[in-house]
């Protein structure tokens, strides 16, 4: 899949959502045993223009790097919504990484300043690569800073990005030097417990902040400086115990009434995105089953054209 194909597929899913042509249910979680230090996310949805329903199961295990495995591995099942007949089974590990990066990049397309030239990115997992790659495709940054907890991971991450993007990547030693003063600030950390390590004072006026770590890293004061808060889905805003803004919701600092819009409403033209250069905007996304289905459908179509994959008999 090319960068443009990935972005177009995920944006198509957002457009369908914004036009009321989808069904999305909040993700569910399964924790087999806390000692395993991981859990499963189950995402479910329906995209009418694609004539597909889908269920994705993705594991999220923080210690997998020690075994040489991705922290997130997934399978996507696509179904005929009229009969329940299975249509396809796809390896969704790459789909998860790509669609997450695409959602981050599309959020910035609508919510960041067009002139944004400095990216600060915390986190070096699989989705982080696609965040930076697709953001740079849209903005062609003059400066990209990265940070992650382990030195070897951030340096290896930077080397990969430099090779693929053809530009210098700045590896920072801490959160502040990575994020402070950046035009677009992405937080994709993997904290084991809540810590207010992303400071409100680092956010300059007019910045676009995109946090999606499973465990919140934001100071509680972060939402108070925002001119607009945009989310990916109100049903996910209401449900679940994880996410960057969950402490702010629980503390009553934000509510559905104070959220500006879902990103899909902006993509569909029902709500405005960025309206002024000096607006400070936060975009929180938990990840949409609709994006998995849309990108999975695009991959399936391309695979058929290329003669990739195999047909299984279902009886």
Same domain (yes/no): 47, 155: no
Say if CB 73 and CB 59 are below 8 A apart: yes
Q: Same domain for 212 and 175? A: yes
Query: How many CA atoms, within 13 angstroms, populate the side-chain half-sphere of residue 185?
Result: 28
Q: Are residue 113 and residue 26 in the same domain, yes or no?
A: no
Query: Does residue 69 sit in the same domain as residue 169?
Result: no
Q: What tens-digit pLDDT sequence spans the chain (315 residues)?
A: 999 999 999 999 999 999 999 999 888 889 999 999 999 999 999 999 999 999 999 998 989 989 999 888 999 999 999 999 999 999 999 999 999 999 999 999 999 999 999 999 999 988 899 999 999 999 999 999 999 988 999 999 999 999 999 999 999 999 999 999 999 999 998 787 888 999 999 999 999 999 987 789 999 999 999 999 999 999 888 877 778 889 999 999 999 999 999 999 999 999 999 999 999 999 999 888 999 999 999 999 999 999 999 999 887
Neighbour count for residue 77 (Cβ, 10 Å)? 16
pTM attached to this predicted model: 0.93
Give the closest residue to 109 by CA, choosing from 1, 226, 267, 2.
267
Domain count, the chain: 2
CATH code assigned at 250: 3.40.50.720
Phi and psi at 185, nearest 5°, equal -120, 115
Same-domain pairing of 180 and 256? yes
Query: Is the residue at 311 inside a domain?
Result: no
Same domain assignment for residues 186 and 294: no
Q: Do 66 and 111 share a domain, yes or no?
A: no
Q: How far apart are CA 74 and CA 95, in angstroms?
A: 8
Q: Which domain holds residue 210?
A: 99-287
140 and 266 together in one domain: yes
Let me know whether 250 and 104 are in one domain. yes
Rounded to the nearest 10 degrees, what angle do helices 126-139 and 151-165 cross at? 40
């Amino acid at each position: 899949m090319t960068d443009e194909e990935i972005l177009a597929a995920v944006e198509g899913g957002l457009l369908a959502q914004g036009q009321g042509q989808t069904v999305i249910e909040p993700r569910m979680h399964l924790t087999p045993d806390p000692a395993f230090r991981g859990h499963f996310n189950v995402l479910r949805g329906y995209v009418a223009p694609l004539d597909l329903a889908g269920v994705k199961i993705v594991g999220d295990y923080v210690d997998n790097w020690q075994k040489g495995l991705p922290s997130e591995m997934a399978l996507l099942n696509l179904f005929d919504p009229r009969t329940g007949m299975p249509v396809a089974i796809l390896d969704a590990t790459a789909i998860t990484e790509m669609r997450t990066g695409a959602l981050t990049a599309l959020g910035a397309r609508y919510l960041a300043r067009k002139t944004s030239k400095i990216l600060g990115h915390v986190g070096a997992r699989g989705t982080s690569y696609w965040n930076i790659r697709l953001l740079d495709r849209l903005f062609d940054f003059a400066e990209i800073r990265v940070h992650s907890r382990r030195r070897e991971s951030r340096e290896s991450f930077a080397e990969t990005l430099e090779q693929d993007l053809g530009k210098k990547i700045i590896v920072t030693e801490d959160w502040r030097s990575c994020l402070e003063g950046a035009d677009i600030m992405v937080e994709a950390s993997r904290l084991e417990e809540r810590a207010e390590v992303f400071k409100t004072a680092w956010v300059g006026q007019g910045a676009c902040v995109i946090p999606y770590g499973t465990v919140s890293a934001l100071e509680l004061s972060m939402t108070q400086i925002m001119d607009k808060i945009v989310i990916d889905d109100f049903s996910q805003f209401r449900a679940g115990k994880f996410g960057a803004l969950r402490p702010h919701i629980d503390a009553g600092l934000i509510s559905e009434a104070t959220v500006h819009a879902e990103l899909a409403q902006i993509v569909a033209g029902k709500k405005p995105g960025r309206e002024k250069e000096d607006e400070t905007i936060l975009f929180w996304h938990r990840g949409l089953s609709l994006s998995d289905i849309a990108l999975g459908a695009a991959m399936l179509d391309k695979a058929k054209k290329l003669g990739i994959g195999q047909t299984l008999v279902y009886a």
